[in-house]
Structure 1
């Protein structure tokens, strides 16, 4: 049922029950009076009409958007005005239909108005409170949607970031291979195109399979080895159960790039980069992906440079998973830096794993 129908149903049923209840009480005490019955019908129509006018006013002037200290006096004045109108119309008829000398003085008029004040106050407070709460709820929903939109925009920007220095270095390395080793140069172009393609697709996807990220890291390390040759040693160790785990696109590539730029490249003799990924249970009984990236380097150098991959990773994990994901970087040992990432399980991971099992 629509809100419009609910409103009119409550209006008609509410006023009818209220007025007819008073008429039945009068009927029991004084007997049936056809004029009193007609007056009751007129009061039903009048009550519906007046309160509907109030509804039109509150909608047209957007009273529910006002702060409480401005809304309260308007509601109070509306109650008094509507009650006064009902009293002015009903009081003369009450004097004629009800034989009671006490109904002809000011105190009787005020008592009649007080009765209508209570009736109008109950209706107006109910209606206004409902719309005030609904408006507040809608405002909160709009705020959440806006915040979500902003967070999604931030996440899209972060996903699309790719260090331009890497692009220049990779192209220079491939150029040097064109004459020395054409086959390896062709392979390098293919690897670079894979990285670029994944970077472009990252703008369209919130998460990707870990296996896709590992392939990107493989291509990246292969290009960097052309540049660093024997100065760069790498190892990738991934739990097969983690291959379809959903991770932020290009996240591992930026962390590995950060490890080489701020670690391996600063060492005269080069260094190593290791990537380990495995699934482990948490204290809450849920599985999570645990990623470790070790590399040669000193954490102080990385912090001083701002750490492109570090801020990127922190922001993206927070945007996607909130407090359920964790990321930290520390000096594990002298000359060895450790980046530690924990990513919670998502429904997509379970779905893909079950689908793969069904196919097999």
Structure 2
């Protein structure tokens, strides 16, 4: 609903209730015999006049930007404004009922009553103003919260873009080093590596703008990456997949598993003379997907497996999932290190 529509509805409803309340008070305290057509017309005139003058007060408030003032600056202006608008409205009402459209059956004009009416209407106008400004304070706070959320979201998107853009040079540097090591000793293998790296780069470019990709898309590129690495390691690197078919359509950050596999090779398999094995598996557990990358070896106490790749992944998980995502790298047995990635399903 538009603010202008809401305002007019509140004006009509509010002053209508005020008029009916005034008539009800006369009925209760003066008795039903005092509810005459002239009294009803008087209350209607009062209600319409207060409706009009409160609207003029609103116009004055908006024109002078009172809604932007602090409470300390606003309060004296509001009190004075309520008194002035009450005096004007009562002057206009008395002019109508005593001179323009004289009403029979009402009390004669009295300055004491006139001042008393100004005081009571000032309280009513002050109450009206309080409700009006309370609405604007709530709206302003709401807009402020929305702006903060939008700013936070924009900063997170910018940070995520920076983090994703760091993936390409980081990965490309490692891949080109692998090709360089084979280009003279085994040109055929080097050509095969170029084929795989082209698939990897196409994937990286295609999904660079995406926050998430399906697990099946990520697994496909991980297979290309492992084929690329297995060429360099010859028989020293073996790998296997245990992927739950029901998890293939779940969305995860792009290059997430590839980074874990790269980390496992760099800190695990490459450090072992006889090489080692890597196992990639996915398991659905209640409200999250668990992805594990297990490799032969041991995580040394002094070793910290948090290079550019893993730090990058941790930051992306924090931006995309908050505290609901989790990444752990630990010794899962005497001969195995497991990197466990927990992704919430919703």
Q: TM-score, normalised by structure 2?
A: 0.80
Whether 1:85 and 2:72 are equivalent positions in the alignment is no
Who is 2:279 aligned against? 274
Greater mean alpha carbon deviation, residues 214-223 or residues 267-276: 267-276
Q: In structure 2, how many angstroms separate the alpha carbons of the residues matched to 1:37 and 1:246?
A: 69
Which ranges of structure 2 fall in alignment gaps of 5 or more residues?
none
Q: Distance in 2 between matches of 1:160 and 1:242?
A: 27
Q: 1:205 aligns with which of 205, 210, 213?
A: 210
State the partner residue of 1:58: 61
Give the whole-Å Cα distance in 1 for the aligned partners of 2:325 and 2:170. 29
Task: Report the aligned-residue RMSD.
Answer: 3.4
Shift of 1:116: 0.4
Q: 1:302 and 1:74, CA in 2 relative to 1: closer, same or farther beyond 3 A?
A: farther
Give the match's secondary structure for 2:167.
Answer: coil
Question: Which deviates further from its counterpart, 122-131 or 181-190?
Answer: 181-190
Q: Is the 8 A contact 1:160 1:202 kept in 2?
A: no
Q: How many residues align?
A: 335
Query: Structure 1: which 5+ residue stretches go unaligned?
Result: 347-360
Distance 1:237 1:124 in 2: 67
d(CA) in 2 for partners of 1:8, 1:165:
61
Deviates more, 1:230-239 or 1:110-119: 230-239
Q: Cα deviations across residues 87-125 of structure 1 (Å, max 9, x unaligned)?
A: 444467778875458x344xx344212210232123222
Partner of 1:323: 323
- 1:192 offset after TM fit, Å? 0.6
Residues 272 and 62 (structure 1), Cα distance of their counterparts in 2 relative to 1, 3 Å cut:
farther
Q: Does the alignment pair 1:10 with 2:10?
A: yes
Determine the C-alpha separation between the residues in 2 that align with 1:51 and 1:104. Answer: 23
Question: By how many angstroms is 1:84 displaced?
Answer: 2.8
Match for residue 264 of structure 1? 269
Describe the SS at the equivalent of 2:315. Answer: helix
1:37-56 correspondence runs (5 A) = 37=41, 41=45, 43-44=46-47, 46-56=49-59
In structure 1, C-alpha distance between the alignment counterparts of 2:214 and 2:270, rounded to whole Å: 29
Residue in structure 1 matched with residue 176 of structure 2 by the alignment:
171
Residues 182 and 232, structure 2, Cα contact 8 Å, conserved in 1? no
Seen in structure 2, the aligned counterparts of structure 1 residues 150 and 210 have a Cα distance that, compared at 3 Å, is same
User: Are the aligned partners of 2:83 and 2:119 in contact in 1 as well (CA < 8 Å)?
Assistant: no
**Aligned twin of 1:349:** none
Deviation at 1:33, TM superposition (A): 4.5
Alignment CA distance shift 1:307-1:175 (3 Å): closer
Select the residue among 240, 244, 265 that pairs with 1:235.
Answer: 240
- Measure, in 1, the Cα distance between the counterparts of 2:136 and 2:94: 32
- Provide, for residues 3-58 of structure 1, a one-character-per-residue CA deviation record: whole Å limited to 9, x for no partner: 32332243345435645775795995285549x947953x4554233322332343
